[in-house]
Amino acid sequence: MAEHVAIKGARGGLRVVVDDTCSWDDAFAAIQHQLSHGANLLHGMSVSFDMGARTIDSTEMQSLYAVLQTYQLTTADIQADSSEVRQFARAVGLTAKPRSIAHTNAVMPVAPAPILIKNLRSGQVHKHLHGDLTLLGDVNAGAELIVAGSLVVFGRVRGLVHAGALGDRTAIICAIELAATQIRIADVRARAPEHDAHRTPEIACIEDGQIIVHSWEEYRR
Amino acid sequence: MAKVITITSGKGGVGKTTSTANLGTALAGLGNKVVVVDADIGLRNLDVVMGLENRIVYDLVDVIEGNCRLRQALIKDKHEAELYLLPAAQTRDKDAVTKEEMIELVDQLREEFDFVLIDSPAGIESGFKNAIAGADEIIIVTTPEVSAVRDADRIIGLCEAYEKGQPRLILNRLRPKMVRSGEMMSVEDVLQILAIDLIGIIPEDEDVITATNKGEVLVLDKSSRTGKYYIDIARRINGEEVAIDPIEDTPSLIERISNMFRGGR
């Protein structure tokens, strides 16, 4: 189901790419699923919905608008080949554009994985949607760190970390102290178990659809 | 030209007002001309803690609204000759002043004093923002307790965001016995999370309650350990290098005997 909709990084924001070959019911359900899982990711970002060559009627556009309202995404713009779809979008108050070739073929340039030297404080949110990230510092309780690729924290994680935020389930999270309140990889979430004080560095990854945390020694083997 | 320091915390009730009153008194005792400003409009406490509530005629909001001159609102302290209080208004609330008005007021105070200490309200909204608006430096007060530390961390992040530099920390109400038995966070535990410079530690002291109720400031009581620790912090603010005392939970026998002979104030 999740394959019908993909969230991709785009210049200056995010692009929600909606499969134009499946039924609208499937696509619509997938959109709702992605939006509910991606709330943290989308917050504060400029978002566009790429409808491809799909045609939908005005009632379907209104139900899409209702969902966008729930997630406070009514400033999103709709990109569609069909001028009718663009008309329906404008009728409900969304902005709409035709898709440009440049847009569809643009590949997000993968920057070399930067090192961020910072302690993320409670209430701060840092998003890095260009690939992997190394953080030299802590993620304090109440802070959020969202990364499209894998994440290495050379410090303590006590807050929320989300790797593979655009859907990459192969992303991993490494930390010297992984005491996170919540770990997320792609669309999978896990709550950290009650841990004791003696910790080793750990690595979290997805195995069989679940987040598993290994000690770094274990992982190497 | 004064140095303007705002004392804030995020969490309420951790010792901002007590610290402001004591540090103001201590800095004045070291020869500085000091004004302490109560920025907690609507819930003013600094005047009570210093025993000056009967002397309030005009307050900070009166000055900003032009109902009086700044000089008329400043209240001279009962004990320290060079210490003044600018009280908050009690019958208004935080919306009564803007950031710009606070900055202007602080700039006026800068001309006349060596130190301006601003007692911030709890929280992160407009009261807090107004209190730090004119600050050169920020001191954060926290207790060694999970929610206070969480809130202090939030405040540190906001200080960075408002480009106020890295704040310094007063760790208040430490109980060494509870730290030893593992029931309370240690200094190390707190610093591990907050990762900012410590400017002082104040152990738990019942005398603070008594003093507050009497409108007296512990710095003026020569036998008070809490007073001594506040004086140490004031000396550090004043630029001196003073080693941070490892806090014992009871004064040594020798200390107790000499306190008996020295007597109270």
A195-199, B52-56, B93-97, B110-114: which range is least confident on average? A195-199
User: SS3 helix, strand, coil % of chain B, rounded to 5?
Assistant: 45, 15, 40
Sign of CA dihedral B231, B236, B242, B247: positive
Average pLDDT (A125-130) is: 91
The domain boundary, picked from A105, A132, A160, lies at A105
pLDDT value for B55: 96
**How far apart (Å, rounded) are the C-alpha atoms in residues A200 and A182?**
18
Task: Please report, to the nearest 10 degrees, the dihedral formed by the alpha carbons of residues B6, B9, B13, B14 taken in order.
Answer: -100
Phi-psi region of A47 (alpha: psi -120 to 50; beta: other; left: phi over 0): beta
Co-location of A15 and A41 in the same domain: yes
Alpha carbon of residue A80 to chain centroid: 22
Q: How far is residue B45 from each of residues A82, A150, B36, B51, B85, measured CA to CA in Å?
A: 65, 50, 12, 10, 12
Contact A141 B157 (CB under 8 A): no
Task: Please report, to the nearest 10 degrees, the dihedral formed by the alpha carbons of residues B112, B116, B120, B124 taken in order.
Answer: 90
Co-location of A66 and A19 in the same domain: yes
Q: Look-up: residue for tokens 């404008």? A: A90
DSSP state of A97: E
Query: Does ipTM exceed 0.90?
Result: no
Q: Does B128 have pLDDT greater than 50?
A: yes
pLDDT value for B15: 97
Q: Does the beta carbon of B76 lie under 8 angstroms from any beta carbon of chain A?
A: no
Co-location of A98 and A16 in the same domain: yes
Co-location of A29 and A87 in the same domain: yes
Chain B, nearest residue to A120 by Cα: B157
Which of A121, A156, A158 is closest, CB to CB, to B157? Answer: A121
Average pLDDT (B233-243) is: 94
Q: What is the pLDDT of residues A13-63, one digit of tens each?
A: 888 889 889 999 999 999 998 888 777 788 888 888 999 889 999 999 999
Q: How many residues does chain A have?
A: 221
Say how many domains are in chain A. Answer: 2
Average pLDDT (A192-202) is: 72
Co-location of A67 and A98 in the same domain: yes
Contact B150 A122 (CB under 8 A): yes
Interface of B with A in 155-214 (CB under 8 A): 156-158, 160, 192-193, 195
Two structure tokens written together for B123:
């929280």
The domain boundary, picked from A78, A105, A132, lies at A105
Chain B residues with CB under 8 Å of A140 CB are 153, 193
Average pLDDT (B23-42) is: 97
Of A91, A94, A106, nearest to A48 by C-alpha is: A94
Min distance A35 CA to chain B CA atoms (Å): 28
Give the pLDDT band (50/70/90) at residue B46. very high
pLDDT value for B265: 40
What domains, with CATH codes, occur in chain B? 3-262 (3.40.50.300)
pLDDT value for B261: 66
- Work out the mean pLDDT of chain B and round it to a whole number: 93
CATH number of the domain that A216 lies in?
Answer: 2.160.20.70
- Asked if residue A110 belongs to a domain, the reply is no
pLDDT value for A206: 95
Q: What is the pLDDT of residues B191-221, one digit of tens each?
A: 999 999 999 999 999 999 999 999 999 999 9
Alpha carbon of residue A68 to chain centroid: 16
Q: Confirm if A105 and A8 have CB atoms less than 8 A apart.
A: no
Q: Does B264 have pLDDT greater than 50?
A: no
Of B149, B135, B119, B117, nearest to B234 by C-alpha is: B117
Chain B residues with CB under 8 Å of A120 CB are 157
Contact B193 A121 (CB under 8 A): no
Q: How far is residue A200 from each of residues A160, A161, B250, measured CA to CA in Å?
A: 19, 18, 38
Burial A85-94 (b: 16+ CB within 10 A, else e): bbebbeebeb
Two structure tokens written together for A203:
């690595």
pTM to 2 decimal places: 0.82
Q: For chain B, how big is the Rg over CA atoms in Å?
A: 18
Co-location of A131 and A95 in the same domain: no
pLDDT value for B144: 97
Co-location of A57 and A146 in the same domain: no
A13 φ, ψ (degrees, to nearest 5): 175, -150
Neighbours of A32 (CB within 10 A): 16
Co-location of A61 and A82 in the same domain: yes
pLDDT value for B245: 84
Range of the domain at A89: 2-105
Of B83, B86, B134, nearest to B113 by C-alpha is: B83
Q: Confirm if A184 and A166 have CB atoms less than 8 A apart.
A: no
The domain boundary, picked from A76, A105, A134, lies at A105
Helix (H, G, I), strand (E, B) or coil at B53: helix
- Work out the mean pLDDT of chain A and round it to a whole number: 87
Q: Residues of A at the B interface (Cβ-Cβ below 8 Å)?
A: 119-124, 138, 140-143, 156, 158
Min distance A70 CA to chain B CA atoms (Å): 26
- Asked if residue A33 belongs to a domain, the reply is yes
